[in-house]
Every structure is written in C-alpha cells, then in structure tokens.
A and B are shown apart, each in its own frame.
Chain A
Amino acid sequence: MTLLSVENLSVIFETEQGIARAVDGINLFIEESETVGLVGESGCGKTVTGLSILRLIPNPPGRIEGGKIIFKDENLLNIPTQKFSHYRGKKIGMIFQDPTVSLNPVLSIKEHLVETVKLHKKVSGQSAINESVRLLEEAGISDAQKKLNSYPFQLSGGEKQRVMIALSLAGEPELLIADEPTTSLDVTIQAQILNSIDRIQKARGMAMLLITHDLGVISKRTKRSYVMYAGKIVEEAPTKELLSNPNHPYTKALINALPSRKRRGKKLENISGAVPAPIDFPKGCRFNPRCPIAIEKCKIEEPSLIEITSNHKTACHLCGSRNE
C-alpha cells in the first residue's frame, strides 16, 4: 500500500534575481516499510523535496506552488498550519544533514530527549527519562545513561547523529526522511550510522526516504531509487537495475564518476560544468548543455518521464526511441 505519494509537486523561491524553481513538478511514491533513495548532485532540489514533505520550506522566500503530497489518503498541503505540527515527528520524522548544528548547544541531551518524548507521549518525569535512555540505546549509543547528562559539544559527530536519530524516533514515525544523514561524518562512522538506521528501520517497519548524493549509500540499502536533476526526476528504477543498467546519460555519468576496482589506476571521470542555477534552467532537456550525446531535439523539447522497461522510467529523448 502506498504510504506517501508526491504528485506534481512544485516549489519555488522568490528571489531578487527572479523566481527559482527548485522543484519542478516531480512525482514519487513510497510504499509502506519500503526504503527509497533520492540521488542527485548538490543544488538539484533533493533537500527541498524532503523539506516540503514536512512543510518546512522557509516562507518567505519559498512557497509550495502546486501539487499534492498525499500521506495515507490525506493531502498534507491542505492541513491548517496550526494542526500540522502534530504530523511532524509523529507521522513523518526527519534526520538532518549536519548533526553538529541540529542540536541546541545550550541544552543537554537529556533536555532534548525528554522534551521531545513528552511532546509525543503524554508521560512525565522518570518514565520520560527511561524512554529517553531506551531511545538512545536503540539508536546505538553505548553508555546511554551517562551520555544523557552531556552537552552536544561533548559528543562526537557520530554520537550526535545517533542522538538526532533517537530524537526522530521518539514520535514513532511511519516515514523517516533521512536527508544526507552521513554527509558530515567520516567513512567508518558513515557505515555504522547507516547500518544502525537500517536495523532500526527494519525492526520498526518504518518507510524511509534516503536522500543522498552518494550512490554507494543507496546501492545496498534501497529497493527503488529516483535520480533528480535540476528540480526534475530524470530516472526512476529499482536500485539494482538503476546501477547495472542506467538509461539516462546523467545517471550514467554519475555512475562513471564513482571509483571502482575495474578502473583501477585510471583517472576518475567527472561531469563537466555544474548544475544550472534554478532561476534560468536551459531550454529543452535541462541536462543538454552537459550531455555528451545531446542532439538538436534536446535543446528544444523537454523530455517527459516515460516507462521504458517495466518499473524503469527515464526522461530522455534518446532512450525513449526504442519504444517509439
């Protein structure tokens, strides 16, 4: 059963230079207790997508311009602002990119957790503390009782991220949005944190949207993945299929940019140029200025996301030709 489906979502930012279309009409869905990846370069609208599901887009300058976000047969965009805080944390939780700035430096871990636990479950005093310890242990913090009294600056980056995970679990959400949860951590800790998230997610049967720029992160942990470029979804496929048999030139280029054993000793490939600024996207296919195989049609007409093989959708004129 579909837990969350995002339909034709557009988010714009009104800046002095013009209107920035950070997210431009994307569709995605997440089944119950499924892990879905959302991949793309920096600045292509992944985080904005994550934030708009929780309606955390700063307004002004940002605004959700159109579309639907349907969570369990309910359009989240129609819920009044006052009531919406009951959805955050309780139904949909979120883990942020940088744990060092996501915790309030003047509050101890205990104050963070107890407050959040009290917010979601009507418990008080000792039972809230016990619940906090349990959550910390679930998030994989050893010596949780002792860590409870420390302040964020006394913890390592990995521990802080674990605290953030514990906080987001407090409301027992059905969907967890993990926005690059390991970007600011070093590689060994990354793996540990991701394994913890994986374990918790399986144990609780939560669904998860894993936002990342690292194809390595999604390869083993997600069932399906979306590739995003310049505010659009350019490819959607089961992760295995996506990595072994990519269709879109952007996805291919991303995979080529990964270091691998096969190409040991060779220079790493890169994608020339940068993601275009969202105020003036190029005409036609947004990837065309950087695309190695672009043809004249790509500069005029924007390709739509079409199913090429079953469950594998791509937005590219050159890939769709097979079906035509």
Chain B
Amino acid sequence: MTNLFEVFGNYRGFAESLFECAIVLGLFLGIVIHFWRDRIWKDRFKKIFKNRTARFSFYFLMLFSFIAILDSIALPIFEIRGEKKVWVENRSLLELIYNPELEETLSAPFSKTTFEARRATMLKKSHPLGTNLNGRDVLLLGLKGCRTALIIGGLTTIVVIPLGILFGVLAGYFGKKIDAIITYVFSTLESIPEILLLICLMKLMGQGLLQLSVALGITTWVGLCRVVRGETMKLRELPYVQAAKALGSGNLSIIRQHIIPNLMHIVLIASVLRFSGLVLSEAILSYLGIGVGPETGSWGAMIDQGRDDLARDPVVWWNISTAGIFLFSLILSANIFGDRVRDVLDPRLKGMKE
C-alpha cells in the first residue's frame, strides 16, 4: 500500500505542474478558437498578422510559450537501488532535453573552472551562460523563468477579465446606486498604493504562483473595470440596444447579446497591453522578496540574487544580464504585438496609415 501511495504521490507533482499551465493554455486556446470561428474576428486576425514586426513578435511569444509548455510537463525519474525502484525527482521535459550538471558555485560562461580565483576547481561540464552562486546553470534558470512569467501574465489576466467585465458592465448598464457603489469601491482600491496592497495580500495568502496572480488581479482589475464601465454607458444608449428593448429583451439578454460582444475588442486590447506590465511587476515583486518564492525559478528572483554578484570583483554579469535579456525580449514582443492588436481593433485609430 505504501508503495502505491508513493507512486501516486510522485505523479501528483506532475499533475500540479500541469494544472496551472492547463488553465492558462486551455482558456487562451478556447478564446482563440472562439474568435477564429467568427468571420469578423478571422479577418481581424489576418490583418494583425499582415504586419511583419507583429508577426515576428508573435513567433517570439510562441517560442516563449513553447519553452513554458516544455517546462510544464514533468515526468518522474526512478532510480534502482538494490531491488527496489525508488522515485528520485520529477523532471520537466525541458530538463530532460537540456540537463546541465549542478556545480559547487559560480562559474563564468564557457569557463572550465569555477569562478573563485584562489581555489578554483574543475567544472563537471562547461556552461554556456555560466552558473550562479548555488552552482545552477543560468541558461536553464532563464528558460525556466519563461513559464513563471507567462503563467503570471496569463493567470492574472484570467482573474482580471471576469472581475473587470462583471463590475464594469453592472456599473455602466444599471447606473444609479449600483454605479455609485462600484465606483466607490474601485476608487478606494485605486487610492491605496499598489505595492503596499500587494505586499499585504502576499503576506496574507503566502507566496506562490497562484497567490501572486490573485493578488495582482485584485490590484489591476480596476483599470479594465473603468474602461468597460465607460464603454457600457456608451453602448447602453445605442439605438440597437433600444431596439432590443422594444422587442422585449430583458436586461440580462441585452447584456449578454449586445453589450458584452461589443466590449470584447476593448477587453482584448486592454489585456494584451497589460500583459507586459504584469510580467514586469512580477519581477519587481520578486526583487522585493515577496514574489513567487525562491523554489519557483523566476527572472525577478534571478535579478534579486544577481544584485549581490554585481559588487564582486571582477563583476559577475551573466546572471543578471541573462534574466534582463529574457525579460526584455518577452516584454518587447508582447508590447509590439499588443500595439498591433490595438491598431487593428481600436475604432478610434481606424483610417490611420497602416
């Protein structure tokens, strides 16, 4: 029985790592497929990809996602000790493909020995981007950071969208008392310094990917809610909403049929543009030590660790610059793609030069 439990327990790690990734991926795929079946949206997507820069930034994002998916699927590793087959650890596909040795301490890129000048020892294997203080391969850490960054961006978006739409539409459509209450709540929430609120929430819930996403979601839904509220107020007065009312549609069916579909482009623009900000704030929070925690590798945590290394002589640059470059390229491509999405979808920019 114990044996069975052990095996089951081993696979639980596998399931857990896949769980977060599956929520994000499933939802995003669902949204993309839903939009793709719609003729108008299909044309819009085609227009988005017509732009070469946007296309390349999309490929970049896909590459990051691919790495993240590789890192999300973990397989159990067994070792035969005597007659028993013993579980050692779970290794993600990424680690199965690229599995560098664990060294004792710092080492420079492509160096054959460790970094410490006095008692340098031979490395087991040379590392393309060196190792950090704990002897872990920097390239692997950087690649593992992709998953954290994308899941933070994705999960938070998933938390934010329903909150923003629900309260925004309620406030904008019904107006009067409901509007006053919701506006009061989000104005209050907005007046609290964001970092302070985040620190409080993280201390309350504890560290971890899910907790951080929820905390970020609570602090950032206000922006989306504001936009959605304004747009709903505009849509509510449109003739086709009046016509639907005259045809006997109730409030709920008007919201479902006429308001929300006409909000989707704004929600999409806001989410895509906010994505990079979320990834950045994860890095900032990890730097402050209240991020996802050290056991989940993240670029913010890498920068936090690498900060001390900058004081060494000679400077240990590879740690912090790897994280920086990864962060930079993800955010740049997300921003370029987001801008293009806005250019295509935002009616106010229509008619401008392509």
Contact = CB atoms under 8 A, between A and B. Distances in A.
Interface of A: 54, 56, 58, 85-90, 93-94, 96, 98, 101-107, 111, 115-116, 119-120, 151, 164, 167-168, 170-171
Nearest to B262: A106
Interface string B234-257: 000111101111111110010001
Contact of B238 (A101, A111, A167): A101
Contact of B247 (A101, A111, A119, A151): A119
B253 A102 contact: no
B39 interface: yes
B258 interface: yes
B243 A120 contact: no
Contacts of B264: 106
Contact of A151 (B39, B237, B249): B39
Given A56-B242, A98-B239, A102-B243, A90 B261 contact: no
Interface string B211-222: 000000000000
Contacts of A98: 239
B261 A96 contact: no
A81 to B, nearest CB: 10
A54 B240 contact: no
A11 to B, nearest CB: 16
Nearest to B236: A58
Contacts of B237: 58
A43 B55 CA distance: 53
B247 A168 contact: yes
Nearest to B243: A102
21 contacts: A58-B237, A85-B250, A87-B248, A88-B246, A88-B247, A89-B249, A93-B246, A94-B243, A102-B240, A104-B240, A105-B262, A106-B40, A107-B258, A115-B253, A119-B247, A119-B248, A151-B39, A167-B247, A168-B247, A170-B247, A171-B248
B269 to A, nearest CB: 15
B257 to A, nearest CB: 6
Nearest to B235: A104
Given A102-B239, A103-B240, A104-B258, A116 B247 contact: yes
B283 to A, nearest CB: 37
Given A101-B239, A103-B240, A106-B261, A89 B253 contact: no
B199 to A, nearest CB: 41
Contacts of A104: 240, 244, 257-258, 261-262
A98 B257 CA distance: 20
Contacts of A116: 247-249
Contacts of B257: 104, 107, 111, 115
Contacts of A56: 242, 245-246
Contacts of B238: 101
B247 A96 contact: no
Interface of B: 39-40, 237-240, 242-250, 253, 257-258, 261-262, 264
B175 to A, nearest CB: 9
A241 to B, nearest CB: 32
Q: With a 10 A CB-CB cut-off, give which of A106, A116, A119 has the most chain B CB atoms.
A: A106
B249 to A, nearest CB: 6
A119 B242 contact: no
A178 B258 CA distance: 23
Contacts of A167: 243, 247
Contacts of A102: 239-240, 242-243
Contacts of B246: 54, 56, 88-89, 93-94, 96, 168
A86 B248 CA distance: 6
Contacts of B250: 85
B34 to A, nearest CB: 13
Contacts of B248: 85-90, 116, 119-120, 171
Contacts of A119: 247-249, 253
A93 B249 CA distance: 12
A165 to B, nearest CB: 11
A85 B242 CA distance: 12
B123 to A, nearest CB: 60
A88 B239 contact: no
A98 B40 CA distance: 23
A275 to B, nearest CB: 23
A120 B247 CA distance: 9
A104 B246 CA distance: 14
A168 B247 CA distance: 6
Nearest to A87: B248
Contacts of B258: 104, 107
B132 to A, nearest CB: 51
A89 B264 CA distance: 28
Nearest to B175: A60
A75 to B, nearest CB: 19
Given A96-B242, A96-B243, A105-B262, 6 more contacts: A90-B248, A101-B238, A101-B240, A104-B262, A119-B253, A164-B243
A106 B253 CA distance: 15
A116 B246 CA distance: 11
Q: With a 10 A CB-CB cut-off, give which of A94, A102, A119, A120 has the most chain B CB atoms.
A: A102
Nearest to B38: A106
Contacts of B40: 106, 151
- Closest CB pairs A-B (n = 5): A89-B248, A94-B246, A88-B248, A102-B243, A89-B247
Q: With a 10 A CB-CB cut-off, give which of A58, A94, A98 has the most chain B CB atoms.
A: A94
A86 B258 CA distance: 19
